[in-house]
């Protein structure tokens, strides 16, 4: 096998093994170029391409190696799995990153690894790659390092100095699930680095405010990922766990990765014919957004009465239908926060509404042009031209009227249920 | 109806707006000279691209608009949409007519329209920050062809200049037949024009005989693109929504 074939083979194996990590974000970090360096990061992420499954390709996302001493049931690289193994050299990863970046294929590198020998030995190599990129290649593109649980604090510290984003995966929503599927891992080893990074990131941030040339430490913060659908947690449990991660560790993002069945010989996991829970994943992300940008508390959306997200309609609409007493919202008078809670109004439209109404009261036509989804919003608002808000409309009736207008990609699942009512 | 014909440049348009005010024309159209049809019997004013006049309109707008507002005005111009000059004139008139800032009045159709077009141009700019694909065509010169819907090349320059400051590159708009060249030695940007006959229209590269290293990295990129996909999550509709087919021509990962 010649050199070209060998590098092709490694890249196929090690990118294929890395693809289940869903994060591809390249945002949130500013790293300015100088005249001899390569790359410039402005804080705004760029998706250079999209895979055929519609996911963003922003970073070169690879494993350093898929050799692993751990045996996590949900992972393709687990030790007991009979697959082809490979490992990049440090130089190979550096060369791929630089050459892809020069051609504007990528924003940077997302590097993770199976654990070979032990945590420190592996982590050392990940850090070395980041260090070479920054110091030898003068690379100012984006670097996301996934840290290896159990690695020493000195290595974690070095990782923070060279990377823009750091991640430690929580893997599963609860400790019980982690114990059952990943016997070699424990929550403590995962939470410890999270809390270390949280403290250090905040520390360096406040130092940077005082001293301009204080070093950068993971300026794009930390993120984490949990697999959903492999274990029996409800949506409520998943989102409560996410809320905790946001509050306690200041996560920039929590990613939800719908479990894709990879094996059929393990009773603990869904069988190979189970479809990945894409719709559920979508609803969880919507809830995550409501939590982060729309001022909702998880308990408003998921609680003991409603521990599962509605598959047919989005979580904001679902909340609104359960809380009709909060409506109508008066577009021309009510606060920005109240307008944000109207189904069919996103935060950009809400901002435009609040700006525009200073110049005159808004009517349906103007709202339509601003871009709100009238088919949903009309049941919840009043504006200049129409105050025909139906006070006594039943939630079930509104729901069916809205569903009848849907052209959603999930239509097939919805229409079956609709037919029962029509 | 009076038609103010201008040379198609941004400063030309500003000068045309000046003329409209100077002549106190109430029903004015501004139109690109190239699109002026000889069948029109209305009055035609041939606008000279006068720097002084452009500057006065530019500064007038700058006094009344935020930086964001100025950007909207320029971005909308770059859209090259039919009749966009008339919309920009109307916008300028709205801005000049009001004592207070009208920028945030999204209930006003002209302001909302400008905001929307500027947003579309901004999206196209962002797309091409992503979709430009350089090829090392020899001597470490990195070349890329683009075919954007809107004329975004001028607003792409700062991004690529910052990113590839130590690399020589050319980005060429094959739709509008002009490009820019960045020289890393003196850090200058120059316009380049390539004679149509010397460019192979369907080939990604100008130069067909790429060096082996360039071929290797293109092949590795395609390999990566294929392997990072998750087959069981296939969603062609979403894929095409993000990477519309009209952009595939210059993306190596979308070539078979």
Instruction: Give the mean pLDDT of A15-25.
Output: 85
pLDDT per residue as tens digits for the range A126-136: 999 999 999 99
DSSP-assigned beta bridge partners for residue B179: B172, B192
DSSP-assigned beta bridge partners for residue A381: A329
Rounded Cα gap, residues A403 and A411, in angstroms: 9
Asked if B230 and A19 come within 8 Å (Cβ–Cβ), the reply is yes
Q: Do the domain assignments include residue A410?
A: yes
Residue B108, CB half-sphere, CA atoms under 13 Å: how many? 19
Rounded Cα gap, residues B84 and B31, in angstroms: 9
**Statement to judge: residues B47 and B150 lie in one domain:** no
The pLDDT, as a whole number, for residue B197 is 53
**Statement to judge: residues B37 and B113 lie in one domain:** yes
Residue A421 pLDDT more than 50?
no
Instruction: Give the closest of B130, B224, B251 to A15, CB-based.
Output: B224
**Boundary (domain end) residue, out of B124, B159, B175:** B124
**Statement to judge: residues B70 and B32 lie in one domain:** yes
**Statement to judge: residues B10 and B104 lie in one domain:** yes
Q: Do the domain assignments include residue A365?
A: yes
Asked if B243 and A50 come within 8 Å (Cβ–Cβ), the reply is yes
The pLDDT, as a whole number, for residue A180 is 92
**Residue A154 is part of a domain; what is its CATH number?**
3.20.20
**Boundary (domain end) residue, out of A197, A218, A239:** A218
Q: Is B40 in CB contact (< 8 Å) with chain A?
A: no
The pLDDT, as a whole number, for residue A181 is 94
Phi-psi region of A50 (alpha: psi -120 to 50; beta: other; left: phi over 0): beta
B48: Cβ–Cβ under 8 A, 6 or more apart, which residues? B15
| Complete DSSP assignment for chain B | -EEEEE-SSHHHHHHHHHHHHHTT-SSEEEEEGGG--TT--SEEEE----HHHHHHHHHHHHHHS-HHHHHHHHHHHHT--TTHHHHHHHHHHHHHH-SS--TT-TTSHHHHHHHHHHHHHHHHHHHHHHH---EE-STTEEEEEE--SS--HHHHHHHHHHHTTTSEEEEEETTTTEEEEEETTTTEEEEE---GGGS-SSSSSS-SS--HHHHHHHHHHHHHHHHTS-GGG--HHHHHHHS-GGGGGG-GGG--
Rounded Cα gap, residues A173 and A189, in angstroms: 15
Residue B101 pLDDT more than 60?
yes
The pLDDT, as a whole number, for residue B38 is 63
Rounded Cα gap, residues B239 and A50, in angstroms: 6
Q: For residue A43, how many other CB atoms are within 10 A of its CB?
A: 12
DSSP-assigned beta bridge partners for residue A63: A112
Instruction: Give the closest of A15, A49, A409 to B227, CB-based.
Output: A15
How close, in Å, is residue B30 to chain A by CA atoms? 26
Give A-chain residues touching B162 at CB under 8 angstroms: 32-33, 40, 42
**Boundary (domain end) residue, out of B99, B124, B149:** B124
**Statement to judge: residues A200 and A324 lie in one domain:** no
Residue A391 pLDDT more than 80?
no
**Statement to judge: residues B76 and B13 lie in one domain:** yes
The parent domain of residue B163 ranges over 132-254
Rounded Cα gap, residues A7 and A250, in angstroms: 38
The pLDDT, as a whole number, for residue A411 is 52
Q: Do the domain assignments include residue A230?
A: no
Residue A1 pLDDT more than 70?
no
Q: Is B119 in CB contact (< 8 Å) with chain A?
A: no
Percent of chain A with pLDDT over 70: 95
**Statement to judge: residues A211 and A332 lie in one domain:** no
The pLDDT, as a whole number, for residue A213 is 82
SS3 A382: strand
Residue B18 pLDDT more than 50?
yes
* CA-wise closest residue to A97 among A130, A146, A125: A130
Instruction: Give the mean pLDDT of A265-292.
Output: 91
Give B-chain residues touching A137 at CB under 8 angstroms: none
Match 């209305």 to its residue by tokens.
B42
**Statement to judge: residues A180 and A328 lie in one domain:** no
Count of all residues that appear for chain B in the document: 256
**Statement to judge: residues A211 and A320 lie in one domain:** no
Top-confidence range, A44-53, B25-34, B148-157? B148-157
Asked if B106 and A39 come within 8 Å (Cβ–Cβ), the reply is no
Long-range Cβ contact pairs of B85-90 (< 8 A, separation 24 or more):
B85/B6, B85/B13, B85/B16, B85/B29, B85/B30, B85/B31, B85/B32, B86/B29, B86/B30, B87/B113, B87/B114, B87/B117, B88/B13, B88/B17, B88/B30, B88/B114, B89/B16, B89/B17, B89/B20, B89/B28, B89/B30
Lowest-confidence region among A33-42, A404-413, B47-56, B109-118: A404-413
Say if residues A109 and A159 touch (Cβ distance below 8 Å).
no
Rounded Cα gap, residues B188 and B170, in angstroms: 12
The pLDDT, as a whole number, for residue A414 is 46
Q: Is B100 in CB contact (< 8 Å) with chain A?
A: no
Banded model confidence at residue B203, pLDDT cuts 50, 70, 90: very low
Residue B199 pLDDT more than 90?
no
Rounded Cα gap, residues A38 and A199, in angstroms: 30
Buried b (16+ CB within 10 A) or exposed e, A95-128: ebbbbbbbbbbbbbbbbbbbbbeebeebbbbbbb
| Complete DSSP assignment for A210-245 | H-TTPPP-STT-EEEEEEESSS---HHHHHHHHHHH
The pLDDT, as a whole number, for residue A418 is 42
Instruction: Give the mean pLDDT of A280-309.
Output: 96
The pLDDT, as a whole number, for residue A416 is 46
Q: Which of A99, A104, A140, A142 should be substituted to probe chain B, the one whose Cβ sees the most B Cβ atoms within 10 Å?
A: A104
Residue B78 pLDDT more than 60?
yes
Count of all residues that appear for chain A in the document: 422
**Statement to judge: residues B195 and B222 lie in one domain:** yes
Total count of domains within chain A: 2
Q: Is A22 in CB contact (< 8 Å) with chain B?
A: no
Buried b (16+ CB within 10 A) or exposed e, B13-36: bbbbbbbbbeeeeeebbbbbeeee
Asked if B107 and A38 come within 8 Å (Cβ–Cβ), the reply is no
Nearest CA in chain A to B143: A103
Q: Do the domain assignments include residue A255?
A: no
Nearest CA in chain A to B216: A4
**Statement to judge: residues B229 and B197 lie in one domain:** yes
Say if residues A182 and A70 touch (Cβ distance below 8 Å).
yes
The pLDDT, as a whole number, for residue B231 is 82
Rounded Cα gap, residues A349 and A194, in angstroms: 36
The pLDDT, as a whole number, for residue A44 is 87
pLDDT per residue as tens digits for the range A154-183: 999 999 999 999 999 999 999 999 999 999
SS3 A278: helix
Residue B30 pLDDT more than 90?
yes
**Boundary (domain end) residue, out of A218, A242, A266:** A218
What phi, psi does B153 have (nearest 5°)? -55, -45
Residue B200 pLDDT more than 60?
no
SS3 A342: coil
**Boundary (domain end) residue, out of A218, A249, A270:** A218
Q: Do the domain assignments include residue A37?
A: yes
**Statement to judge: residues B119 and B137 lie in one domain:** no
Total count of domains within chain B: 2
Residue B204 pLDDT more than 60?
no
Share the mean pLDDT of chain A: 91
How close, in Å, is residue B41 to chain A by CA atoms? 36
Instruction: Give the mean pLDDT of B117-144.
Output: 95
Residue A264 pLDDT more than 90?
no
A75: Cβ–Cβ under 8 A, 6 or more apart, which residues? A20, A68, A81
Angle at A409 between CA A405 and CA A415, to 5 degrees: 55
Q: Is A259 in CB contact (< 8 Å) with chain B?
A: no
In terms of Cβ atoms closer than 10 Å to its own Cβ (0-12, 13-18, 19+), residue A324 is middle
Report, in angstroms and rounded to the nearest whole number, the Rg of chain A calculated over CA atoms.
24
* CA-wise closest residue to A162 among A191, A137, A194: A137
Q: Is A309 in CB contact (< 8 Å) with chain B?
A: no
Interface pTM, i.e. ipTM: 0.90
The pLDDT, as a whole number, for residue B163 is 95
**Statement to judge: residues B100 and B186 lie in one domain:** no
**Statement to judge: residues A214 and A319 lie in one domain:** no
DSSP-assigned beta bridge partners for residue A111: A62, A145
**Statement to judge: residues B46 and B102 lie in one domain:** yes
**Boundary (domain end) residue, out of B93, B124, B155:** B124
**Statement to judge: residues B115 and B146 lie in one domain:** no
Q: Give the tokens for residue A190.
A: 């995962």
Tell whether omega for the bond before B254 is within 30 degrees of 0, i.e. cis.
no
The pLDDT, as a whole number, for residue A23 is 79
The parent domain of residue A170 ranges over 3-218
Instruction: Give the mean pLDDT of B225-244.
Output: 88
Residue B139 pLDDT more than 90?
no
Rounded Cα gap, residues A224 and A222, in angstroms: 7
Enclosing H/E stretch for A166: strand A165-167
**Statement to judge: residues B158 and B249 lie in one domain:** yes
Q: Do the domain assignments include residue A258?
A: no
Asked if A4 and B167 come within 8 Å (Cβ–Cβ), the reply is no
Rounded Cα gap, residues A70 and A93, in angstroms: 23
Banded model confidence at residue B141, pLDDT cuts 50, 70, 90: very high
């Amino acid at each position: 096998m010649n050199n070209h074939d060998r590098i092709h083979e490694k890249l196929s194996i090690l990118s294929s093994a890395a693809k289940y990590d869903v994060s591809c974000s390249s945002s949130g970090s500013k790293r300015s170029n100088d005249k001899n360096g390569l790359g410039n990061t402005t804080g705004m992420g760029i998706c250079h391409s999209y895979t055929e499954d519609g996911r963003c390709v922003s970073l070169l996302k690879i494993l350093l190696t898929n050799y692993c001493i751990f045996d996590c049931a949900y992972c393709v690289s687990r030790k007991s799995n009979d697959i082809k193994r490979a490992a990049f050299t440090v130089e190979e990863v550096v060369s791929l990153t630089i050459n892809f970046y020069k051609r504007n294929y990528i924003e940077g590198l997302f590097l993770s690894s199976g654990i070979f020998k032990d945590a420190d030995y592996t982590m050392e190599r990940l850090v070395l790659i980041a260090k070479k990129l920054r110091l030898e290649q003068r690379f100012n593109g984006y670097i996301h390092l996934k840290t290896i649980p159990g690695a020493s604090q000195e290595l974690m510290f070095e990782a923070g100095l060279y990377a823009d984003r750091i991640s430690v995966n929580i893997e599963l929503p609860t400790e019980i699930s982690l114990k059952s599927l990943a016997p070699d891992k424990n929550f403590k080893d995962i939470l410890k680095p999270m809390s270390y990074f949280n403290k250090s990131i905040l520390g360096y941030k406040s130092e940077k405010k005082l001293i301009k040339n204080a070093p950068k430490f993971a300026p794009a913060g930390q993120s984490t990922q949990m697999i959903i659908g492999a274990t029996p947690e409800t949506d409520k449990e998943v989102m409560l766990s996410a809320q905790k991660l946001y509050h306690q560790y200041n996560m920039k993002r929590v990613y939800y990765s719908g479990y894709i069945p990879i094996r059929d010989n393990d009773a603990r996991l869904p069988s190979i014919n189970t479809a990945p829970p894409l719709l559920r994943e979508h609803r969880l992300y919507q809830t995550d957004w409501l939590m982060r940008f729309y001022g909702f508390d998880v308990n408003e959306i998921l609680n003991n009465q409603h521990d599962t997200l509605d598959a047919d309609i989005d979580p904001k609409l679902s909340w609104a239908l359960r809380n009709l007493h909060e409506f109508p919202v008066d577009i021309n008078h009510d606060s920005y926060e109240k307008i944000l809670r109207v189904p069919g109004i996103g935060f950009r439209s809400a901002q435009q509404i609040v700006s525009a109404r200073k110049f005159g009261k808004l009517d349906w036509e103007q709202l339509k042009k601003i871009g709100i989804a009238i088919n949903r919003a009309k049941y919840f608002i009043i504006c200049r031209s129409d105050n025909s808000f139906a006070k006594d409309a039943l939630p079930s009736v509104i729901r069916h009227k809205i569903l009848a207008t849907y052209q959603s990609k999930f239509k097939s699942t919805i229409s079956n249920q609709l037919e029962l009512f029509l | 109806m009076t038609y103010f014909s201008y040379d198609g440049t941004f400063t030309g348009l500003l000068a045309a707006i000046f003329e409209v005010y100077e002549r106190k024309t109430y029903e004015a159209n501004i139109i690109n000279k190239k699109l002026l049809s000889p069948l029109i019997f209305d009055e035609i004013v041939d606008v000279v691209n006068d720097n002084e006049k452009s500057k006065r309109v530019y500064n007038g707008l700058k006094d009344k608009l935020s930086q964001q507002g100025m950007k909207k005005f320029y971005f909308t111009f770059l859209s090259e949409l039919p009749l966009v000059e008339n919309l920009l004139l109307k916008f300028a008139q709205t801005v000049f007519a009001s004592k207070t800032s009208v920028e945030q009045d999204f209930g006003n159709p002209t302001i909302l329209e400008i905001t929307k077009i500027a947003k579309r141009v901004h999206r196209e700019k962002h797309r091409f920050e992503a979709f430009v694909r350089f090829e090392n065509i020899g001597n470490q010169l990195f070349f890329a062809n683009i075919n954007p819907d809107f004329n975004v090349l001028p607003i792409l320059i700062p991004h690529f200049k910052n990113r590839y400051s130590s690399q020589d590159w050319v980005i060429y708009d094959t739709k509008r037949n002009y490009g820019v060249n960045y020289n890393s030695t003196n850090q200058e940007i120059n316009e380049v024009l390539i004679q149509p006959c010397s460019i192979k229209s369907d080939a990604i590269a100008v130069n067909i005989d790429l060096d082996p290293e360039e071929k290797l990295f293109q092949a590795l990129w395609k390999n990566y693109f294929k392997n990072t996909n998750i087959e069981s999550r296939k969603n062609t509709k979403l894929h095409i929504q993000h990477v519309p087919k009209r952009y595939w021509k210059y993306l190596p990962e979308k070539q078979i």
